[in-house]
Structure 1
Amino acid sequence: MLQVCLNGARAREECRSLPVSPSELAAEAARAVAAGAEDIHLHPKDAEGLDSLEPDVVAHAVTAVRRIVPPDVQIGVTTGAWAAPDPEQRAALVRSWTVLPDHASVNWHEEGAEQVAEALFDRGVGVEAGIYSGTDAARRFCASPFPGRVLRVLAEVTDVNAATAGEAAVALVKELGPVRPTPVLLHGEEGGAWSVLRVAARLGLDARIGLEDVLFLPDGSVAADNAALVQVARTLLAATGQ
């Protein structure tokens, strides 16, 4: 499975083509799905372009995208602590959502991860357990009762060096050994994104690509949009037999 991550916590200043508004997210999602994306991860943003978990902001973003993509394409959002630092507030916001995404990511190295995950489960929203390399998230998650309950593990390699990110990806997957057969989506960021995508393909794991993770194509040129990233990712995955 190839997921597209449409925008992330980035600001428009970093990327002129970054989708921010609900209509922009919908248009980008449609193009990315047409290019081969099978699942969507997005960050709802408020009027100032900042990530938000407020119910109206989430509702507008999810509704806009859901109207335009095929019904079998699932839509997920972030619950990152930067959007609402207090864990109780994050959980309360999840419980107040009026339009539900299909899934939401919960970063396991953040305080209150289990509390937020439980709020999502209570609402019937699938949980992507975000496991960052270089943190104790893998150990904490594997020791918790959640591995058998989550939709998938979202394994994020934080090493941005293209020469070493692949090794870091393999090491992170080994750390997650105890959670298998829970599905694992492996992805990198910035300079390490394409190296990690190749590792995911080689290991037969789910992968993701998009402007949240990287702004450049493998040849170093600036990606025009998410669809351009997805199209190249599809070619690389096909070359390894996925």
Structure 2
Amino acid sequence: MLQVCLNGGRGPGDAAGVPVSPVAMAEAAAAAVAAGADEVHVRPRTPCGSGTLSPRVLAETLTAIRAAVSVPVGVTTDARSEPDPVRRLARVRSWTVLPDHAAVHWHEPGAEALASALLDRGVAVEAVLRADSDGPARFLRSPLAGYVPRLRVEAASAGEAHALLAALARSPHACARPVLLHGRDAAAWPLLRLARRLGLSARIGLADTLLLPDGSPAGDNARLVAAALATTVAA
């Protein structure tokens, strides 16, 4: 499975192709899926461009993207979109339109309560486990570990990724879970190739890298997806 992450924490100031509005996200999603992406992940944005968990903005974003594609659509719920854990939880509980899945960053305060609320609402949780944090250890101790349908492993190098994947493989709760492996910036392409070699799901998009494998500017998410699929074939 190849997930495209359309924007993340980046904006048009990083690259002109980073989508911010619901319409732009829908257009980017359609192009990325046409290029071969299997699912879409986005950070909904306010009209001024800030990340948000607002029910109104989320509904507008999901409605626009789902009108353009028929693949699963997920969102982030991290502290950059809402720093206050209590308010973050309240926002999620007030959503009127639900994503197919939502990423929960397990190293952040309130992650377990947030994941529980999402699961209660029927939203699949993608547990984000960063190799440079205490998130993986906290997740493996969590009573929810056996109920989270997918793990997203984020690492800065192949060595970090191998170490974290080995620790997860030793856990009875985590070993049977599908894993999506990805990196950012300089680690994006090496970890995408590693994910393919290991038979894991992968992620690419302007949220992770602005560059194609040859170092040239990608310009948009669709070109990154096409390059990721070509890289997979070449590997």
Partner of 1:223: 218
Partner of 1:195: 190
Match 2:160 to one of 160, 168, 172: 168
Runs of 4+ with deviation above 6 angstroms: none
Matches within 5 A, 1:1-242: 1-70=1-70, 73-157=71-155, 159=156, 165-177=157-169, 178=171, 179-240=174-235
Percent identity of equivalent pairs: 52
Shift of 1:187: 0.3
Shift of 1:175: 2.4
Structure 2 unmatched runs, 5+: none
2:97 maps to a residue whose letter is V
Shift of 1:176: 1.8
1:29, 1:60 → 2: CA distance? 14
2:7, 2:105 → 1: CA distance? 17
Shift of 1:138: 0.8
Shift of 1:146: 2.0
Shift of 1:123: 1.2
2:232, 2:162 → 1: CA distance? 17
Note if contact 1:169-1:199 (Cα within 8 Å) is conserved in structure 2. Answer: no
Shift of 1:74: 0.4
Structure 1 vs Structure 2 CA RMSD: 1.0
2:49, 2:73 → 1: CA distance? 20
Note if contact 2:15-2:219 (Cα within 8 Å) is conserved in structure 1. Answer: no
Structure 1 unmatched runs, 5+: 160-164
| TM-score, length basis structure 2 | 0.96
Note if contact 1:147-1:182 (Cα within 8 Å) is conserved in structure 2. Answer: no
Shift of 1:147: 2.4
Partner of 1:162: none
Shift of 1:82: 1.7
